[in-house]
């Protein structure tokens, strides 16, 4: 007789992971503001390392929350490595990290995530959700340009950099973490269902 599938609350896990990515994003941004210089190489290292720290924090929370369903170390290493590689290539090729063309790093993060998990089980949900999260962030960046009513309100009430802070840092990092968690959660559920069939 097959063992019953252990269920987990995917919306709660996704929200908590989104908050973890947001906290990592705040640390990343603080580091960028403190160390930013005229040197491209130094800025590249600082920004890339900041994204790596953000991913490490976010994936640690996600892997911890799913530890009963998937090996913690394997999920954390695969997720952190996927972000490190997926962000690195667009930055080197296009001289940018996220904001100009989010769909490319989004797809690459999802692709490397699947590859680093190194299993033959289908992982379309993981790739799709990761790419979708980055795509939604790209749409938000295009919509909430300086001069937009929301951006003007934020600047008037919360300070001159508040629109960039909330839109480009807090919300975007949280959305990316949220969709990565959904993709991983759907993948884990599907794996467990196939095992228990």
pLDDT digits (tens, 9 = 90+) for 33-83: 777 667 777 777 877 888 899 999 999 999 999 999 989 999 999 999 999
> Greatest CA separation found in the chain?
65
For the chain, the average pLDDT equals: 80
pLDDT tier, 3 (very low <50, low <70, confident <90, very high otherwise): very low
CA torsion angle 98 100 103 106 (round to 10): -10
pLDDT tier, 122 (very low <50, low <70, confident <90, very high otherwise): low
Does the pLDDT of residue 148 top 90, yes or no?
no
Q: What percent of the chain clears pLDDT 90, i.e. is strictly above it?
A: 29
pLDDT of res. 4: 47
Q: Which residues contact 58 (CB under 8 A, 6 or more apart)?
A: 17, 20, 21, 24, 79, 177, 180
Helix (H) or strand (E) holding 135: helix 124-143
Q: Which residue has the tokens 């975007």?
A: 172
pLDDT tier, 2 (very low <50, low <70, confident <90, very high otherwise): very low
Rounded Cα distance, 123 and 18, in Å: 21
pTM (two decimals): 0.84
Q: Identify which has the larger pLDDT, 176 or 148.
A: 176
């Amino acid at each position: 007789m097959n063992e019953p599938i252990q269920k987990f609350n995917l919306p709660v896990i996704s929200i908590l992971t989104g908050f973890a990515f947001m906290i990592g994003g705040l640390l990343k941004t603080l580091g960028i503001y403190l160390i930013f210089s005229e040197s491209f190489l130094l800025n590249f290292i600082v920004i890339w390392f900041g994204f790596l720290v953000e991913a490490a924090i976010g994936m640690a929370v996600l892997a911890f929350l799913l530890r009963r369903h998937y090996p913690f170390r394997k999920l954390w290493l695969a997720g952190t490595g996927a972000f490190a590689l997926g962000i690195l290539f667009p930055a080197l090729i296009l001289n940018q990290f996220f904001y100009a063309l989010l769909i490319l790093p989004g797809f690459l993060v999802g692709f490397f995530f699947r590859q680093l998990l190194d299993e033959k089980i289908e992982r379309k949900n993981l790739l799709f959700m990761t790419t979708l999260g980055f795509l939604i962030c790209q749409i938000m960046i295009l919509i909430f340009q300086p001069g937009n009513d929301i951006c003007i309100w934020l600047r008037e009430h919360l300070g001159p950099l508040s629109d960039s802070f909330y839109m480009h840092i807090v919300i975007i990092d949280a959305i990316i973490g949220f969709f990565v968690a959904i993709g991983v959660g759907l993948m884990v559920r599907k794996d467990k269902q196939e095992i228990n069939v």
